[in-house]
Chain A
């Protein structure tokens, strides 16, 4: 069985290697931006020669937070993607499949059109509404799924599709009555809107996502069994429904955190898990940590491209993830053709 193929040492080496690559990519990406800054000046500190030091502020208050944010969001989406693909046993699953995206989008659109200007712990109403929308929608879809049968995956997926369509329609209606400027803000949010965040927000976000990824990692052996065959898993003594509920809740929470931080960044949660699975195989004990780190690397790079390529303007990061990610994934798909089969 797959479980035996992976020794803890190999896993550790791979995770550490991926983490090193992530750190290097983050450092390099923090040096890229629309303004050219000198590291020497930046390291002179906040107040070089009595006056404010713009190089320091750009590096420390703008670029580092943004690169860290991209890493957090990328890791969250990739981990949630891995878990949902395993739970739903469906290669098309991604973190948004159960309606999270439209729920969060509806929340964000309402906040933008409502034009609120208060903040809560440094978070804008858009982020808070998006989080609430995401969590509320998952709960709704889950509830409908339960009614259709005791954990019936088809029922759950259909509920997700219908709720998605319904909320998307409401978003479209709201957009049609929005003013031009609100329309613009909404569209950007829906395509992934990375912005610089407070260190406090990043710290909490990183904690939530790390806790989520580690929890999913704890469930990896059970996820392996379930993704092979839920019936066999049951006969092996695994509480399938409990694991499913737990993993769903964690994935939904992690996705909601990511979405409230950055808007709807597409493609990461679908493609990164598949890419890692193609290259390294389907064992979730390896897939979860490595896919999270690769998701972080991928989104850091994509966001840097989005920041730099049309400078001084910026592209929505969702555009870049699809444009870079699509062809890259197709190349992998062809190269590792023999491993394409979903469950090997």
Chain B
């Protein structure tokens, strides 16, 4: 049994040595002490964060964006740091950022945790509702010293949303089925920001409260929910007219559903309505056009 004791002692010594020499220290405190200047090398870890930064006029300060940041077109000229769900930490460090902006998602938490421990400054934002978006824009503006621009961006975004709301006010709420995936069928539930957008555009989610956030549903629910409009956001960045033809042939099997009977099936640009970005007003307008063509025009 002698060798077992030696092993146990060696293991305890190893662990003890590690605790003494390598215990994780917290690097955050050092940063708070520094005088705050506007950052000059910003890396954005998500397409909507990129849009926020550009809308605040920070073109010059942005040094890196994720590969899926496709708006505004100037974003394509920046270096890329992986995708927002699979960030590349080496690429981030190579850009020598003085601010890394990330979303509060599991995949990004690992990245910001490691960067913070290495002494980089990270700003993590939770943007999952329309209100979060306004707060995030103000937050980014405060860190980057762009409060005036933020007021303009927020002002015009809120004005656009208010105008759409006013125009849709008094109209009957249109029941919408928001299809995120056709096979198997999955739709947006009530507890999503999509639901908020639908309501702002003068509609109502055809699906009631569900346990799932994006519930998978069967044909029975499609018929029972009797949507007046079916909307499919396109995530492939492809040809909307062609996809609409496909969608119509798919939905033809539910001929009794009002949306199908009236031909009110729309395929819309997914980027505008799946990103909480300063272009949100444009996204809501597109939805409003699908719901109330008589008010907003085709």
A residues near B, CB below 8 A?
A: 33-35, 37, 51-52, 54, 57-58, 61-63, 112, 115, 117, 119, 121-122, 124, 126, 176-182, 184-185, 188, 195-196, 198-200, 203-204, 207-208, 210-211, 214-215, 218, 311-314
Contact = CB atoms under 8 A, between A and B. Distances in A.
A312 B107 contact: no
The winner among B22, B90, B104, B109 for most chain A CB atoms within 10 A is B90
Q: Which 7 A-B pairs have the closest CB atoms?
A: A185-B106, A203-B18, A200-B22, A207-B14, A312-B88, A122-B24, A211-B11
A34 B91 contact: yes
Contacts, number: 109
A203 to B, nearest CB: 4
B30 interface: no
B24 A121 contact: yes
A180 B105 CA distance: 11
A124 B113 contact: yes
A176 B184 CA distance: 12
A208 B180 CA distance: 45
A126 B212 CA distance: 22
B15 A177 contact: no
A215 B7 contact: yes
Given A181-B85, A203-B18, A312-B67, A57 B7 contact: no
Contact of B105 (A181, A198, A200): A181
> Which DSSP category, helix, strand, loop or mixed, fits chain A's interface?
helix
Nearest to B211: A177
A218 B3 contact: yes
A177 B212 contact: yes
Nearest to B3: A218
Contacts of B113: 119, 124
Given A180-B214, A312-B82, A51 B88 contact: no
Interface residues of B, number: 43
Given A177-B213, A195-B110, A200-B19, 9 more contacts: A51-B96, A62-B89, A62-B90, A176-B212, A177-B211, A181-B105, A211-B14, A311-B88, A314-B82
Interface of B: 3-4, 7, 10-11, 14-15, 18-19, 22-24, 67, 80-83, 85-86, 88-91, 93-96, 104-107, 109-110, 113-114, 117-119, 211-214, 216
A203 B20 CA distance: 12
Contacts of B22: 198-200, 203
A195 B95 CA distance: 20
A35 B91 contact: yes
Contacts of A121: 24
A198 B83 CA distance: 23
Contacts of B81: 312
Given A115-B106, A211-B11, A35 B83 contact: no
A136 to B, nearest CB: 22
A211 B18 CA distance: 15
Given A195-B110, A313-B86, A185 B105 contact: yes
17 contacts: A35-B91, A61-B118, A179-B214, A180-B214, A184-B107, A185-B106, A185-B107, A188-B107, A204-B18, A207-B11, A210-B14, A211-B10, A215-B7, A218-B3, A218-B7, A312-B80, A313-B82
